[in-house]
Amino acid sequence: MSRTLNLSKELIAKESITPKDEGCQDLLIHHLEKLGFEIEKMPHGEVQNFYAKKGSTSPLIVFAGHTDVVPPGPIDKWLSSPFEPTIKENILYGRGAADMKTSLAAFVVSIEEFISENPNHKGAIGLLITSDEEGVATDGTVKVVEALQERQEKIDYCIVGEPTSSKKFGDTVKNGRRGSLSAKLTVKGIQGHIAYPELIKNPIHEVAPAIDDLVNTIWDEGNEYFPKTSYQVSNINGGTGATNVVPGHVEVLFNFRYSSSVTAEILKERVEAILNKHKLEFLIEWQHSGQPYLTEKGMLVDIVSSSIEEVCGAKPTISTTGGTSDGRFIARLCDQVVEFGPINESIHKINEHIDIGCIDKLKDIYKLALKKALA
């Protein structure tokens, strides 16, 4: 049986629901120690992290990923138990099959094979692994990155194993992610009886034209790598439940997914200017959950794309779509971060799965990338 498949199954069998690791990292470390990696465990609170490295010359290429998975949801809806890796008709089922325990297995086996085939390679290989990617992501990669920044560790290339393929394995590589900025806006009015409009100030009526303005604002035109910045309202809450009462305030939650053509500061200023233009009495609480990052086309994008083309027979699309990822933290100490992994169609769903034919292809792509960077 394929060693990558075997290791994937061993990892899936561990119930590492975020932020638990349940021994996944020890299993990876066991393999890495045999290869001569130096291991640094960096736990924070409940979260397990480690940084492993072999070699001290440049370039340093690092694989990054997470051992935690999202909860399985109702177990009776699964075809097989989510933590009992099961193969049916060449499909491997289990929580983490695509996001991203097979990528972790592919990292380790690609490194083992690369080192045995190229014992005198140049440069260095690293791994940055966390159990806090699917949760709040405050004690995971970000903490390791801070520690590495402090001692001025320089990473030349980083491959994140997130499931980036869309319809077909190997069709998409991510070279960046949009930023994410959320806000809770509270607009004040004057509560009162609906029949006495002269005595009240309806905050729902006050905020409506401002929302319309925000929706119709063009925040930027995007750029070569990013689509236009998008503004979306996710919740509006106002009202006492009674049909004859105008509420004293209304709450609006919204989010920006923004390109590298603007900054969070600019968006905040522009929103507040629009709210002021509408003469609203408001309070706004901002939450900046992700800085955008971008790796322009260059060495690592070329290495990963050509490795995919050699294994899969077609060039991937280079994209920055989708949610945020730990790539945003790693980009602080590494100019070239690229994400590539399995098909993401079943991730976080019931019956998460991967075609087993893709598992060794993924390992081969990572191995080729190592060869192109270090051999």
Question: Has 364 been annotated as catalytic?
Answer: no
Burial class from Cβ neighbours inside 10 Å (0-12, 13-18, 19+) for residue 257 reads buried
99 is catalytic: no
Report the distance separating Cα 256 and Cα 231, nearest Å.
Answer: 5
Q: Of 22, 68, 112, 360, which one is the catalytic site residue?
A: 68
| Residue number with the smallest Cβ distance to Zn ion | 99
Identify which of residues 69 and 207 has a Cβ nearer to Zn ion in the complex: 69
Residue with tokens 């806090």: 132
**CB nearer Zn ion, residue 62 or residue 250:** 62
Nearer to Zn ion, 191 or 289 (CB): 289
DSSP one-letter code for 77: G
Catalytic residue among 133, 139, 206, 352: 133
Q: Which is nearer to Zn ion, 99 or 352 (CB)?
A: 99
- Matching residue, tokens 């109702």: 74
Residue with Cβ nearer Zn ion (229 or 320):
320
Q: Give, as ranges, the residues between 157 and 186 that touch Zn ion (CB under 5 A).
A: 162
Which residue's structure tokens are 């490194």? 111
Site string for Zn ion, 40-79 (x = CB under 5 A): ----------------------------------------
CA–CA distances in Å: residue 153 to residues 40, 49, 125:
14, 17, 13
DSSP H/E element including 154: none
The yes or no reply on residue 364 touching Zn ion (CB under 5 A) is: no
User: Of the listed pieces 17-25, 154-162, 164-172, 212-220, which binds Zn ion according to CB under 5 A?
Assistant: 154-162
Name the nearest CA neighbour of 284 among 322, 309, 251, 256: 251
* Amino acid code (one letter) for 122: K
Closest CA to 179 of 64, 294, 338: 294
Three-state DSSP at 192 gives strand
Number of residues located near Zn ion, criterion CB under 5 A? 3
- Span 80-119, contacts to Zn ion by CB under 5 A: 99-100
Binding-site ranges for Zn ion (CB under 5 A)? 99-100, 162
> What amino acid positions are annotated as catalytic residues?
68, 133
